[in-house]
Structure 1
Amino acid sequence: MNFNTKIRYDFIGNRNKFFLFSIALTLAGILSLLIFNLNFGVDFKAGTNMDIAVGKQATQAEAIAILEQAGIKGITPTVGGNGNERVSARFDEVLTQAKIVEIQNAFKAKYGDQVSAEVNVVSPDMAQELGIKTIWAILIASVAIMIYVMFRFEWRFALAANIAILYDAFVVVALFSIFRLEVDLPFIAAVLTTIGYSINDKIVIFDRIRENLRFGQFKNREQLAEMVNASIWQTMARNIYTVLAVLIVAVCLFIFGSESIKLFALAKIIGLSSGAYSSICIASPLWLLLKGKQKPKAAVKATTAP
């Protein structure tokens, strides 16, 4: 069949390469999680986070020296904000009020009485509760999307889409585990928005596949594969422009944003890139794979009256 679409690259014909790459990345992520786990921030493990505004330009070396003066060693604070006037330090233990006051006084001795601090403490019970709620949030979001796609399309579209969006979410988690990047609440927000955004590209392609499927007659698997390839290329420009528009914003946040938002922006960049990849290279070929296993309807034999 001719769809009057210039197919510049055969995504469907090369689907096994994409499947192998995706499986390899998934296995690497699983191994990293089993060996190293995630680098949880204070939001998901008991600890204390202090954001200290010193009112003057500070350096990391000065901040480390002040913490050591207060009896705390092995902590590497980050310095940022306008003119490097903010020091952020995260502690793996719940600091007592006396220790918090001691740290504040140490900074005041160096920078003056204008020093102020914002302190966030996470207890072990709260950290465990946040972790459980995060898992439930991802599961509920995935099931809700699958039900929505199943009602709008059919179960094969829903299954292919859900596998792809779970892959997108796992890629973000896996890369953060492999490169030991910190996981906090903004990271979870990035994963959830990745799931929501990822389904958008897949719905666009699936809608075109359904439309081509409705108005075409396909006698064999090769014709069906050609239709899926054509559907991908018919929606390629729209998907690229949509992804680029959001990706540019995420990259700008990563480059120009404050330290507190950089990892959120990085997670978004990874999720957006993976979502664009999985829509074309995983979800659509998976649907074709599931469709190809569908048993053909038995032909109705014409009968003539005796």
Structure 2
Amino acid sequence: MRSEYDEKKFNFVKASKPFFTFSIAITLLGIIFLSVFGLNYGIDFRSGTSVDISVSKPVDKAAVEQFLKTHEFGEYSLTTSPNRLSIRFKDALKDTQEKQLKADFTKQFDDKASFEVNIVDADIAREQQRNAIVGMAVASVGIILYITIRFEWRFAIAAVVALLHDAFIVISLFSIFRWQVNLPFIVAVLTIIGYSTNDTVVIFDRIRENLRFAKLKTPADVAMLVNRSIWQTLTRSINTVITVLLAAVALFIFGSESIRMFSLAMILGLVSGAYSSIFIASPLWLLLRGKSVPKKAAKPQSAT
């Protein structure tokens, strides 16, 4: 099973222990931050009002801060960019407050400003949180069933651990850096789960094909088969990730403020998905499989 060619290649399986340790450490760190600080929910998951203002000329942030304090709209957060301001109010604005905000802002700062206002009450926020959790749970269960039917239960467990790893890494980073979590973020996480599963299934499919024709005598032969399968699909996995990553980076740099967190979550998830498919999923399948070697089917005895 082994060859001089295999020995010259980087052995992903042999080096899997440090990668497992790194992933476990990141996971534990994420659990600590999520337990202590939680997530920085956006307007989609908590009651309040978001106001996104597109301006035709630069506006001084300090002046806008003073404007909001003067009007006493309640607790808020303000982020600015050259052509856009995003204001998040903790409480839902009344119709009169919304109209006053628009009228006074255009009068004081920019008469060509355009406004995008979203108001979410507490009941809708709780329902959207619940639907987001249910959506991710349903996606995970569907993937488990699909891979179990197509492959076997060990492949399914390894794939689900890898995709949960990717989703949790992204969620943990958003908690650590206090980036805002909104509905586009949930869409990004579900998309990440899909890409992670796709990359993992490609490697698993190659492992299964190689198992059919390989002559395996020892557990080391099985490990080498897994390593060879990863190498055979590595170029395809990297090219796929880079292609999508370029699009996600372009959206993050040139896209609007409303999809920036979506793009950031996609970038982090794509990198994590490529990492987990190669360094986590396949070595984990090998670990679950143990030291057994496939037994050849017994040859039928000829009749005498």
Give me the TM-score of the superposition, normalised by structure 1: 0.91
Deviates more, 1:95-104 or 1:13-22: 95-104
The change in CA–CA distance for 1:236 and 1:183 in structure 2 (over 3 A counts) is same
| CA–CA distance in structure 2, aligned partners of residues 75 and 215 of structure 1 | 64
For the structure 1 residues 173 and 225, does the alpha-carbon distance in structure 2 shift closer, same or farther, using more than 3 Å as the test? same
Distance 1:113 1:17 in 2: 58
Identify the residue that residue 122 of structure 1 maps to in structure 2: 120
Range with bigger deviation, 38-47 or 148-157:
148-157
Instruction: Give the C-alpha shift of residue 73 in structure 1.
Output: 6.4
Q: What SS class does the counterpart of residue 235 from structure 1 fall into?
A: helix
Contact (CA 8 Å) 2:76, 2:90: kept in 1 or not? no
Shift of 1:199: 0.8
What is the correspondence of 1:117-266 to structure 2 with a 5 Å cutoff? 117-266=115-264
Unaligned runs of 5+ in 2: none
Distance 1:241 1:197 in 2: 13
What is the percent sequence identity of the aligned residues? 51
Q: Distance in 2 between matches of 1:260 and 1:116?
A: 15
Q: Which runs of 5+ in 1 are unaligned?
A: none
CA distance in 1, matches of 2:239, 2:297: 44
Instruction: Quote the residue 1:29 is aligned against.
Output: 30
Q: Which runs of 4+ in 1 moved over 6 A?
A: 295-300
* Alignment of 1:68 onto 2:66: no
Measured after TM superposition, the shift of residue 42 of structure 1 is 0.7
Provide, for residues 84-118 of structure 1, a one-character-per-residue CA deviation record: whole Å limited to 9, x for no partner: 1x322111111222222222232033036544433
Alpha-carbon distance in structure 1 between the residues aligned to 2:162 and 2:139: 14
The offset of 1:53, in angstroms, is 3.9
- C-alpha separation in 2, matches of 1:289 and 1:112: 63
Q: CA shift at 1:58, angstroms?
A: 2.0
Kept after mapping to 1: 8 A contact 2:78/2:87: yes
CA distance 1:221–1:6, shift in 2 (3 Å): closer
* CA drift at 1:64: 1.5
Equivalent residues of 1:165, 1:199 under 8 A apart: yes
SS of the residue aligned with 1:180? coil
User: Does the Cα contact within 8 Å between 2:52 and 2:117 map onto a contact in 1?
Assistant: yes
Counterpart CA distance in 2 for 1:189 and 1:299 is: 46
Instruction: Determine the structure 1 residue equivalent to 2:95.
Output: 97
2:10 match: 9
In structure 2, C-alpha distance between the alignment counterparts of 1:126 and 1:186, rounded to whole Å = 16
1:57 lines up with 2:58 in the alignment: yes
Structure 1 pair 247/114, CA: closer, same or farther in 2 (3 Å)? closer
Letter in 1 for 2:2: N
CA RMSD of aligned residues (A): 2.4
8 Å Cα contact 1:190/1:268 also seen in 2: yes
Change (3 A) 1:216 1:98: same
Contact 1:69–1:106 under 8 Å retained in 2: no
**In 2, Cα distance between equivalents of 1:239 and 1:287:** 18
Q: Indicate conservation of the 8 Å contact 1:6/1:233, yes or no.
A: no
How far apart, in 2, do the equivalents of 1:24 and 1:271 lie? 18
Give 1:249 shift. Answer: 1.1
CA contact (8 A) 2:216 2:293 kept: no
Superposed CA deviations along residues 202-221 of structure 1, whole A, max 9, x for unmatched, are 11111110011111121221
SS at match of 1:77: strand
Does the CA-based 8 Å contact 2:203-2:229 persist in structure 1? yes
